[in-house]
């Protein structure tokens, strides 16, 4: 395992590599691979935008370079140093490469697979476990990422794939963006908080649920009159029309249970 001084030196190098990703609009993440003596033998930085490759994360590129240099896929005597906690894809590659130790800077609460969201590297169900050392130069790595995303949100760089993603309301998940209109319509009136015959509805989204035959019969004339409208009027008007409809149906009776 590399020493503390070697790990800090390698992390400083990875932070410098991460800056290279900014020129192509990539998230600034850098990585280096150390041999058993603590010497840097491979390096990489995020190039998904530059190479149009969804797998071109800094860790993947550094591992490929190390394997090509050593002439083997098994890197069991090597250490990977990266500025951001590896994602699930990169964590799987680290395990497959039999990396001995993984050192990273900033934690990633949303996608980290080395202890934050999940812990692929130390999962005992895997055929290899990796020694994890997180939080090395964390403040510098975090500041680098925050500066990048802050610039993207502010429109400092145009044409980046991250600009549009960051401009969307963070409260709305990407897979829910297409349903925003439907969800906003269904929230016009909290219908489940009102009695069944007084509910305002959006046709096709929130149908009325009458409790008795009388309520169903009373609702029908009003619903037919106002079909296709999202706002069906005040409760006072609904009560009046409901009472009028009930008076027109004297033959309908609510069956009482005999005690």
Query: Which residues are annotated as catalytic?
Result: 59
For the stretch 191-199, contacts whose Cβ atoms lie closer than 8 Å and that sit 24 or more positions apart, written own/partner, are 194/235, 197/238, 197/242, 198/235, 198/238, 198/239, 198/242
As a whole number of angstroms, the distance between CA 121 and CA 182 comes to 41
Q: Tokens representing 118?
A: 């999940």
Backbone φ and ψ for 101, nearest 5 degrees, come out as: -135, 140
The answer to whether the CB of 185 falls within 8 A of the CB of 228 is no
As a whole number of angstroms, the distance between CA 39 and CA 215 comes to 80
The answer to whether the CB of 45 falls within 8 A of the CB of 17 is yes
Rounded to 10 deg, the angle between the 58-70 and 4-22 helix axes is 120
As a whole number of angstroms, the distance between CA 75 and CA 233 comes to 71
């Amino acid at each position: 395992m590399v020493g503390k001084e070697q790990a800090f030196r390698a992390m400083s190098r990875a932070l410098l590599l991460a800056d290279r990703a900014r020129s192509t609009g990539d998230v600034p993440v850098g990585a280096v691979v150390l041999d058993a003596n603590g010497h840097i033998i491979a390096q990489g930085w995020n190039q998904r935008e530059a190479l149009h490759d969804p797998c071109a994360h800094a860790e993947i590129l550094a591992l490929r370079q190390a394997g090509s240099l050593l002439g083997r896929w098994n890197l069991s005597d090597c250490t990977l140093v990266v500025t951001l906690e590896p994602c699930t894809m990169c964590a799987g590659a680290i395990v497959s490469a039999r990396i001995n130790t993984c050192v990273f800077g900033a934690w990633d609460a949303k996608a980290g697979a080395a202890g934050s969201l999940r812990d692929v590297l130390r999962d005992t169900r895997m055929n290899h476990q990796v020694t994890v050392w997180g939080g090395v130069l964390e403040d510098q790595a975090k500041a680098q990422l925050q500066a990048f995303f802050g610039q993207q949100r502010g429109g400092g760089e145009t044409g980046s794939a991250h600009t549009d993603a960051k401009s969307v309301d963070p409260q709305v998940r990407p897979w829910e963006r297409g349903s925003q209109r439907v969800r906003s319509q269904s929230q016009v009136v909290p219908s489940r908080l009102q009695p069944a015959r007084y509910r305002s509805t959006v046709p096709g989204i929130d149908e009325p649920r009458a409790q008795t035959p009388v309520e169903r019969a009373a609702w029908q004339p009003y619903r037919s009159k106002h079909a296709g409208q999202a706002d069906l009027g005040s409760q006072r008007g609904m009560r009046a029309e409901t009472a009028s409809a009930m008076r027109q149906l004297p033959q309908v009776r609510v069956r009482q249970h005999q005690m």
